[in-house]
Amino acid sequence: MQAVGVIGAGQMGAGIAQVSAQAGYRVLLSDVSRERAEAGKAGIAKALDRLVTKEKLTSEARDAALALIEPVESVAAMGACALVIEAATEREEIKRAIFAEIGTVLGADAILASNTSSIPITRLAQASPDPARFVGVHFFNPVPVMGLIELIRGLATSDATVATVEAYAQSLGKQVVRANDAPGFIVNRVLMPMLNEACFALGEGVASVRDIDLGCQLGLNHPMGPLTLADFIGLDTCLEICRVLFTSTGDPKFRPAPLLVKYVEAGWFGRKTKRGFYDYTGPEPVPTR
C-alpha cells in the first residue's frame, strides 16, 4: 500500500500513526494545524523511546518508524494516500467538514475510513466522497497495546473496501472482528452498559469508588475497574456513547446514569481533566467518593 493518511494527532490518531509506521507504512499525519501534527509526532517519539528503553524495540527500528511519519499542514496533502483514516474529535459536524475537504483530493481508488466509536457508518458515508469506499475502523485505547480492530461496514461499503482495510488491520498485528452498522457496534455495545451500571451503583450508594473498581477488577479479572476505565476513556466520551445507544435504540436499558451526566456537566471528564471518579493531581490516583 502507498501512504496512509491519519487525520487527528490526538491520543487515537497518534496511536494509529505509530502502529502504522511500525508496520512499515509511510504516514501523513494532520491535525487542525501543522504544530498540532508535529506535537502528535513528538508524543509518538516519546512512546517509541520508552519501548527502546524497555528493550522492546531497537533504536534502528524506532528511527525507521519515526522517519516514516510526516506531519502535514492539512488533509490537502493526502491526495496520494491509498487509505485515509479519520480519527478526529467525535463530533459529526467536524467529521463531515473533514470529509468534504478530503473529498477534493482523495484518489479515485483510495479508501476513507473513520475511527468513530459511535456515529453510524452508513450516515457518515453520505458525507464521504464515495460511500462504497467508506468503512468504520475502530481502534482501542491505548492503540499500541490493544490487539483488536473492529471493522464496520455501512450499507454501501464494498467488499473490496472491507478486504483492503482488513488486510491493513492484520498487517498491524491486530485481530479483526467485523460488525454491522448497529449502535455501539460490538465492543461499546457491551462495554458501555457495564461502565454506566457502575455509575448507577456508585450514585445509589452500593459501594465506594475503590470497592466497585476492586470488586470488578479482581472479581472479573479485568485489567481495570469500570470507574477507572471510564476515567481512562473519558467520561464525556462514555456519556456520548451511552446517549447514542439510548437515542438510537429507544431502549431504557441504555439511559445514562444521572451521576455520569453530573460529572460531565461539572467538567470532570476523567484523566484528561485530572478529575473524574479519581483525582489525578497527585502521584497516584485518589478515589473521590
Which regions of the chain does DSSP assign to beta strands (E)?
4-7, 27-30, 69-71, 83-86, 111-114, 134-139, 148-153, 175-180, 278-279, 286-287
Q: Which stretch binds ligand 3HC (CB under 6 A): 30-38, 70-78, 136-144, 205-213?
A: 136-144
Residue 223 interacts with ligand 3HC (CB under 6 A): yes or no: yes
35 is catalytic: no
Query: Of 144, 203, 285, 287, which lies in the binding site for ligand 3HC, with binding defined by CB under 6 A?
Result: 144
Question: Minimum Å distance from CB 237 to ligand 3HC?
Answer: 6
Grouping H, G, I as helix, E, B as strand and the rest as coil, residue 114 is: strand
Q: How many other C-beta atoms are found inside a 10 Å radius of the C-beta of residue 286?
A: 12
Half-sphere exposure of 163 (CA within 13 A, CB side): 3
Map grid coordinates 485481530 to a residue: 175
The Cα 96–Cα 91 span in angstroms is 9
Residue 199 interacts with ligand 3HC (CB under 6 A): yes or no: no
Residue 142 interacts with ligand 3HC (CB under 6 A): yes or no: yes
Residue 140 interacts with ligand 3HC (CB under 6 A): yes or no: yes
265 is catalytic: no
Question: Minimum Å distance from CB 58 to ligand 3HC?
Answer: 15
Question: Minimum Å distance from CB 262 to ligand 3HC?
Answer: 20
Q: How many other C-beta atoms are found inside a 10 Å radius of the C-beta of residue 242?
A: 24
Q: Which is nearer to ligand 3HC, 20 or 188 (CB)?
A: 188
Question: Minimum Å distance from CB 117 to ligand 3HC?
Answer: 3
Strands 278-279 and 286-287: antiparallel
Residues acting as catalytic residues: 117, 138, 150, 188
Q: Which residues bind to ligand 3HC, rule: CB under 6 A?
A: 47, 54, 56, 117, 140-142, 144-146, 188, 223-224, 229, 233, 237
